[in-house]
Amino acid sequence: MEEKKFDYKAAVSELEALVAKVEDPSAGIDDIGENVARAEVLLEKCRAYLRQARGILDGLDTEK
């Protein structure tokens, strides 16, 4: 089974939607917990993606 490539923009969009759901006063506590858990997963994936991008850029900078 092929692993799907990480889509940073889609992850950020999903995070924004999750924040809106969590901030909604009518959100149920169970929904908030699920949304926060999903947001934590997405945040870690985004951070890893950005660390990798920084490493690539730092490598390019040292090639001068």
Q: What is the pLDDT of residue 3?
A: 65
Q: What is the pLDDT of residue 60?
A: 83
Q: What is the pLDDT of residue 4?
A: 82
Query: What is the residue extent of each domain of the chain?
Result: 8-62
Cα angle value 27/41/58 (rounded, 5°): 135
Q: What is the pLDDT of residue 1?
A: 59
How do the pLDDT tens digits run along the chain, 64 residues long? 566 899 999 999 999 999 999 999 999 999 999 999 999 999 999 999 999 999 988 888 676 5
Q: Check: pTM over 0.75? Answer yes or no.
A: yes
- Residue 18 to residue 39: CA distance in whole angstroms: 7
